[in-house]
Amino acid sequence: MKIRNGFVSNSSSSSFMIRLNDKYKNVLDIAEDMIKDRFDAWRNYDDRDEDHPLETLTYDNIKRLRKNGNVNIPIFFKSTNYDTYIMKLTDNYVFVDTCNNIIWGASDHATYKIPDEVREMYPDAVSDYGEIDLNAKRDFEYYHIENGIMAYPTKEYKSCNKCYDELWVINGVTYCLNCDWEIVSRGLKIEKIKKLIN
């Protein structure tokens, strides 16, 4: 049984720092552990099989990142009420912005204080009520672990008018990766073909 400490806000959002260690040597180690927790939680709700297509695709993308050595790429994935962003801020610390509706094993390694080396880089960061507020998370380009693509969040949070998913920016164009996925996917295939031709 896991006992969660530090989540004292009434919000279901949660954010914390993890110091890299023997268990979590990089961003991908943290993301993979959290993704496993997410799928375990989802299976408890809908009896989803382990070979569900989304799970298979996600783990294939993790293997691809590991094989290519992209272990510290900023990562985004869907959670529950709030989505999950994981990014390396310094040589030693990774920032996780997520939802506390899932019991994350990674939170056992969390600190809710802003380390000095992070404070030096992000002087406006705030630690309050068991959460860390770091607006700089919107400055990173993220690897969407389910889609296998890179995208930027909008500078200020914006959601889709149809499905309310967060909007993302790819090559300067804003998309909903849920409603606009066919357009995005087709555009990425065309870009790949252009690169092969050139």
Q: How far apart are CA 147 and CA 160, in angstroms?
A: 17
Q: How far apart are CA 112 and CA 90, in angstroms?
A: 16
Cβ atoms of residues 99 and 14 within 8 Å: yes
Q: How far apart are CA 108 and CA 5, in angstroms?
A: 8
71 compared with 8, residue with greater pLDDT: 71
Mean of the pLDDT values across residues 10-15? 70
Q: How far apart are CA 11 and CA 160, in angstroms?
A: 22
pLDDT digits (tens, 9 = 90+) for 91-142: 999 999 998 888 899 989 999 999 999 999 999 998 887 788 887 889 999 9
pTM: predicted TM-score of the whole model, two decimal places: 0.86
Confidence at 10, pLDDT banded by 50, 70, 90: very low
3-state secondary structure (DSSP) of residue 168: strand
87 compared with 43, residue with greater pLDDT: 87
Q: How far apart are CA 104 and CA 173, in angstroms?
A: 33
Burial category of 8 from C-beta neighbours within 10 Å (exposed 0-12, middle 13-18, buried 19 and up) = exposed
pLDDT digits (tens, 9 = 90+) for 52-73: 788 999 999 999 999 999 999 9
Residue 189 has pLDDT above 70, yes or no: no
Quote the pLDDT of residue 192.
Answer: 59
Residue 197 has pLDDT above 90, yes or no: no
Secondary element (H or E) of residue 127: strand 126-128
Confidence at 196, pLDDT banded by 50, 70, 90: low
pLDDT digits (tens, 9 = 90+) for 17-49: 999 999 999 999 999 999 999 998 887 776 666
